[in-house]
Chains A and B, each alone.
Chain A
Amino acid sequence: MTEAATPTTNAPATAAPLRCWSCGGPVASGAVFCATCRAVQPPGDADHFARLGLPRAFALDAAELDRRYFAAQRQLHPDRFATRSPRERAISQSQAVSLNDAYETLKAPLARACYLLKLEGVARTPDQDHTIDDPALLMDQMERREALGEAADGAAVQRIVAAADADARDALAAIARAFARDDLAAAARETTRLRYLEKLIEDARLARARVAPRQAAG
């Protein structure tokens, strides 16, 4: 038999009650340890908010996210299982992978907005759809790109970055307001705008390195 590549996502949830892989005892949905034998359990398919015990909402307390992520990693990180069986080590690694995925997604507002849109059933989320069908946004981006291409020095690039930063903050506030009133169309539109602004800021950083390759050592 040829070994198949291991998929990174779990099979869809089934209605059957979960059994502990180690002792066969019942395991509550979402539990990370077996109540009977204490063996670590596979991560399952909980969404990122549920995995970290946070409400499914765009508004997020960053300190609370850190607190919950650290507490979960303290229990599940592979370093806690270094002397355990290969099976337990592998399960702890997949748990830690799921925690990191959840943390990274929820921490960054853009990723969080895209993920929330996906959870809410929006078909074309801004992280998958690479086309702009908003003419105003398209025009705006083309103008900024052109300005960046023509920027001759660090100060010019910095002005473009500062303007994009301010607009990104504005988009973020608009996303928060849209999610708060359950206006998914507006949330998706503003998320697309944020995505293009963040990409521009990143490219501007590279451009700044190009126009000012090395700062003289002080």
Chain B
Amino acid sequence: MAQLLQIHEPGETPLPHEGDRGAAIGIDLGTTNSLAALSLDQKPEALRDVHGRALVPSVVAYSPDGPVVGADARRMLLDQPELVVSSVKRLMGRGAADIKALAGALPYEVAPSADGGMVRIRVGGRVLSPVEISADILRAVRARAEDALGQSVDRAVITVPAYFDDAARTATRDAARLAGLEVLRLVNEPTAAALAYGLDKHSEGLYAIYDLGGGTFDFSLLRLEKGVFQVLATGGDAALGGDDFDHAVAARLLAERAAQIAGATVDTSRVKLALATARLAKECLSSQDEWIGMLDLDDRPSRHHLARAEVETMIAPLVARTIEICRQVLEDAAVAPQDVQGVVLVGGSTRVPLVRRQVAAFFGREPLSDIDPDEVVALGAALQAEALTRGSDTLLLDVTPLSLGIETMGGLVEKLIDRNTPIPVAKAQEFTTYQDGQTAMLIHVVQGEREMVDQCRSLGRFELHGIPPMVAGAARIRVSFAVDADGLLTVSAAEKTTGTAARVEIRPSYGLSEDEMATMLADSIANAKADMERRLLVEARVEATRTAKAVQAALAADGELLDAAERAGLERAIAAVEQAAAGGDRAAIVAAAEALELESKPFAERRMDRGIRTALAGKRVDAVLPTGE
């Protein structure tokens, strides 16, 4: 059919309804801040609130009314530290023993867990896993994205530190699931940053990404060539970041305080405040040479003075560790520092002047940071979300950050997949029994570079049952490791000589069981209802505002088709819509929009008639009849 009339006003575009699917966004779930971005036509943009803020501080306060996330939660840290959790990313897939104490006190109140698995935090009278707390952050990021887009969001690419182990990756995926998000892909943060950077600058050649976040350090070396982003090698430390700078400064503040005030006590809440003060001091010292402040605890403030040079001395060993990792990664890839064409700085902690100086000294060139280091990862994730849902000419080829293997006799590790192997990858190896008549085998899966099991990270224990009784060494047990494009590991095992189907039981060392996930999902249904109601409100608001704008535009174009009373009626209906849209009552918004639609119907019909007459005027009949095509 030939189209006779353009229904929409010029310049007014209809809402993008791509099928029934919501938007697919990129999310940087950071230790300090989180944010979302959306890419259209390879132009990614951070999604901001009405105040223009993209960053959601990764801080959650568990008030009696429910979780509060972001800047408001961070403010509550000052007077109600016992309700507030921050830097929870450091605990993803981690055990209680992984938490660093400060002046003898932990910055989290750890709840004892029965199985010694992933740590549980006691906060605001609740006991929560890091997965649940991260899910609350993701819900807030998702809400900000939906508000910015006026559209529901149900799919996301989520970034993780390249050096995250399997347990931490799985925990991140579980958190997204709890927040009602379908994870299109987990993408490594430095790789996402390279994508944003390379596409923006049309770079080719060898690029290094130095990513120092709040809790993790990643360094990746990539080759960029004609739209292919090939990670050559990656390295890092999943427990080294700007938080450690804060820890160093806070330790100094607490020591000074102990010297100034007799009987000053330290507990979890006071440590949280000391860390918050240390962070402010660090940020201040990024631009100034000295900081003077106080630690106001228990109405007994202690006074402190710090020079930038002093803080640099404190954090120098931490920065030196990152440079040593850079050296090792380049060596893994057999690349010399001078062969690297550009070094991109990512993460808020790269604002620290000492970090910039050391990176520049190692590579012999000034690092690049012309894309906001806080936003570049989310922008890359958004590009990847677009590529996965709408297609793209670019391709990310990533690698495993850590070697994967299983425990063999004597506590040694047999590696099945080496670090820096391109993913997806699958490898299999045969093992055998060591006792006559052995019918079960314990397969202990570990991740890490060391040769002894106790120096690697335990990922899980798998029990293979149903091995037919044979003499020792006769059974052929094939253990298969598969790492998918998200970097997630699946292990399976089978006895080959008899073809007997074998059962594999999985007990993740630092994960959540399916039962725990089921309980958490049930708990999140209440949240999901609130989310749904909020989303419907946003959508109603957008729809009503769009109708009002369309009628306004039509009034401006064809207002003379109406008499004064009709015009005044329409203007009243528009004002009613605008007033309702400013409020939070979805039913009122829908009613006002429907009233406006009804009121404007005669006007629309008159415009339609005029449009047809205009379109037909001066045209030959065969030019306006349907052609049948």
Binding site for B on A (CB under 8 A): 1-9, 66, 70, 73-74, 77-80, 82-83, 93-94, 96-97, 100-101, 103-104, 205, 209, 214-218
- Among candidates B185, B324, B384, B502, residue contacting A215 with C-beta atoms closer than 8 Å: B324
Does B358 interact with chain A (Cβ within 8 Å)? yes
Q: Is the CB of B485 within 8 A of A4?
A: no
Nearest CB in chain A to that of B357: its residue:
A218
Nearest CB in chain B to that of A100: its residue:
B422
Nearest CB in chain A to that of B312: its residue:
A217
Q: Is the CB of A8 within 8 A of B395?
A: no
Closest chain-A Cβ to B360's Cβ sits at a distance in Å of 10
Does B501 interact with chain A (Cβ within 8 Å)? yes
Interchain residue pairs with CB less than 8 A apart (8): A7-B494, A8-B428, A70-B397, A73-B228, A96-B485, A97-B424, A214-B317, A217-B319
> What chain A residues lie within 8 Å of B480 (beta carbons)?
5-8
Q: Is the CB of B185 within 8 A of A97?
A: no
Instruction: Given A5-B493, A5-B502, A218-B361, verify A73-B428 contact (CB < 8 Å).
Output: no
Tell me the complex Cα distance, A5–B492, Å. 5
Q: Is the CB of A5 within 8 A of B478?
A: yes
Q: Is the CB of B494 within 8 A of A4?
A: yes
Tell me the complex Cα distance, A73–B231, Å. 14
Consensus secondary structure, chain B interface: mixed
Closest chain-B Cβ to A30's Cβ sits at a distance in Å of 20
Instruction: Given A7-B480, A218-B361, verify A82-B184 contact (CB < 8 Å).
Output: yes
Q: A79-B485, A215-B324, A217-B323 are in contact. List 6 more A-B contacts (CB 8 A).
A: A2-B502, A78-B485, A80-B391, A96-B485, A100-B422, A217-B320
Binding site for A on B (CB under 8 A): 184-185, 225-226, 228, 230, 316-317, 319-321, 323-324, 327-328, 331, 358, 361-362, 384, 387-389, 391, 395-397, 421-428, 478, 480, 482, 484-485, 492-494, 501-504
Closest chain-B Cβ to A172's Cβ sits at a distance in Å of 14
> What chain A residues lie within 8 Å of B387 (beta carbons)?
79
Tell me the complex Cα distance, A8–B478, Å. 10
Q: Is the CB of A218 within 8 A of B185?
A: no
Q: Is the CB of B422 within 8 A of A104?
A: yes
Q: Is the CB of A100 within 8 A of B424?
A: yes
> What chain A residues lie within 8 Å of B501 (beta carbons)?
1-4
> What chain B residues lie within 8 Å of A97 (beta carbons)?
424-426, 482
Q: Is the CB of B502 within 8 A of A82?
A: no
Q: Is the CB of A82 within 8 A of B428?
A: no
- Among candidates B324, B395, B426, B492, residue contacting A74 with C-beta atoms closer than 8 Å: B395
- Among candidates A2, A66, A77, A83, residue contacting B503 with C-beta atoms closer than 8 Å: A2
Closest chain-B Cβ to A53's Cβ sits at a distance in Å of 18
Tell me the complex Cα distance, A78–B425, Å. 12
Instruction: Given A5-B478, A82-B185, verify A73-B319 contact (CB < 8 Å).
Output: no
Nearest CB in chain A to that of B318: its residue:
A217
> What chain B residues lie within 8 Å of A3 (beta carbons)?
501
Q: Is the CB of A218 within 8 A of B428?
A: no
Instruction: Given A7-B478, A8-B428, A8-B482, verify A100-B423 contact (CB < 8 Å).
Output: yes
Q: Is the CB of A214 within 8 A of B502?
A: no
Q: Is the CB of A217 within 8 A of B358?
A: yes
- Among candidates A101, A215, A216, residue contacting B425 with C-beta atoms closer than 8 Å: A101
- Among candidates B361, B425, B485, residue contacting A77 with C-beta atoms closer than 8 Å: B485
Closest chain-B Cβ to A2's Cβ sits at a distance in Å of 4
Closest chain-A Cβ to B237's Cβ sits at a distance in Å of 14
Q: Is the CB of A78 within 8 A of B319?
A: no
Closest chain-B Cβ to A101's Cβ sits at a distance in Å of 7
Q: Is the CB of A93 within 8 A of B358?
A: no
Tell me the complex Cα distance, A60–B425, Å. 23
> What chain A residues lie within 8 Å of B494 (beta carbons)?
4-5, 7
> What chain A residues lie within 8 Å of B426 (beta carbons)?
8, 94, 97, 101
> What chain B residues lie within 8 Å of A5 (beta carbons)?
478, 480, 492-494, 502, 504
> What chain B residues lie within 8 Å of A70 (beta carbons)?
225-226, 228, 230, 395, 397
Tell me the complex Cα distance, A218–B316, Å. 10
Closest chain-A Cβ to B315's Cβ sits at a distance in Å of 10
Instruction: Given A97-B425, A218-B358, verify A83-B485 contact (CB < 8 Å).
Output: no
> What chain B residues lie within 8 Å of A205 (beta carbons)?
331
Which 9 A-B pairs give the minimum distances between C-beta atoms?
A5-B492, A5-B494, A82-B388, A217-B320, A2-B501, A100-B422, A8-B428, A78-B485, A8-B426
Closest chain-A Cβ to B155's Cβ sits at a distance in Å of 10
Nearest CB in chain A to that of B486: its residue:
A78
Nearest CB in chain A to that of B385: its residue:
A82
Q: Is the CB of A214 within 8 A of B320?
A: yes
Tell me the complex Cα distance, A217–B421, Å. 30
Closest chain-A Cβ to B428's Cβ sits at a distance in Å of 4
> What chain A residues lie within 8 Å of B317 (beta carbons)?
214, 217
Tell me the complex Cα distance, A103–B397, Å. 12
Q: Is the CB of B428 within 8 A of A79?
A: no
Tell me the complex Cα distance, A217–B184, Å. 41
Q: Is the CB of B324 within 8 A of A4?
A: no
> What chain B residues lie within 8 Å of A94 (beta carbons)?
426
Tell me the complex Cα distance, A218–B337, Å. 15
> What chain A residues lie within 8 Å of B328 (beta carbons)?
209
Closest chain-B Cβ to A21's Cβ sits at a distance in Å of 19
> What chain A residues lie within 8 Å of B502 (beta carbons)?
2, 4-5
Tell me the complex Cα distance, A218–B395, Å. 37
Q: Is the CB of A96 within 8 A of B424?
A: yes
Nearest CB in chain A to that of B316: its residue:
A217
